[in-house]
């Protein structure tokens, strides 16, 4: 089985709708805030975003041609919309970074060069274009802070 075929089949299993994802975030916060635990709750989400541009539309069309859909493909257009979701649920400290930003700001230049030679990355602009459409968002909630869950 090719990697593409495997990913195509698995990606539909791994993707959940934004409303289901938000419901899980609310459930975590609701459960934890009532548990009596005095520790910090942290939640991390990996998501696709910004598919409203030409690259995003091509990506969606290619996936649909392979009978793969992305639930909520238009839901999160910017990093700010990812942050707003977490704060709207009640998380008190939130941050979101695109994979492109992480690649450029947190990975040493020598390591990027080493990876480029191993992976034969000759079109860095293309990988940056892909990476700007994925983000990691995390939220923290501390007992004693008000929650909306």
Q: Which two tokens stand for residue 22?
A: 């938000």
Does this model's pTM top 0.75? My answer is yes
How far apart CA 93 and CA 58 sit, in angstroms, is 34
How far apart CA 30 and CA 28 sit, in angstroms, is 6
Radius of gyration of the chain (CA): 18
3-state SS string for 71-122: CCCCCCCCHHHHHHHHHHHCCCEEEEEEHHHHHHHHCCHHHHHHHHHHHCCC
pLDDT higher than threshold 90 for residue 135: yes
The 10s digit of each residue's pLDDT in 33-87 is 888 877 889 999 998 888 888 988 888 888 888 887 777 666 788 999 999 999 9
> What is the pLDDT at residue 124?
75
User: 140 and 91 in contact (C-beta within 8 Å)?
Assistant: yes
């Amino acid at each position: 089985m090719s990697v593409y075929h495997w990913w195509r089949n698995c990606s539909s299993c791994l993707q959940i709708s934004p409303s289901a994802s938000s419901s899980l975030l609310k459930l975590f916060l609701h459960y934890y805030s009532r548990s009596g635990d005095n520790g910090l709750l942290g939640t991390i989400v990996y998501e696709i975003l910004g598919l409203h541009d030409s690259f995003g539309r091509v990506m969606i069309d290619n996936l649909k041609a392979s009978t793969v859909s992305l639930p909520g493909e238009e839901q999160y257009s910017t990093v700010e919309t990812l942050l707003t979701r977490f704060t709207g649920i009640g998380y008190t400290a939130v941050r979101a970074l695109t994979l492109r930003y992480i690649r450029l700001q947190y990975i040493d230049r020598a390591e990027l060069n080493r990876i480029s030679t191993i992976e034969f990355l000759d079109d860095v602009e293309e990988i940056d274009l892909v990476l700007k459409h994925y983000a990691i968002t995390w939220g923290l909630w501390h007992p004693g802070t008000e929650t909306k869950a």
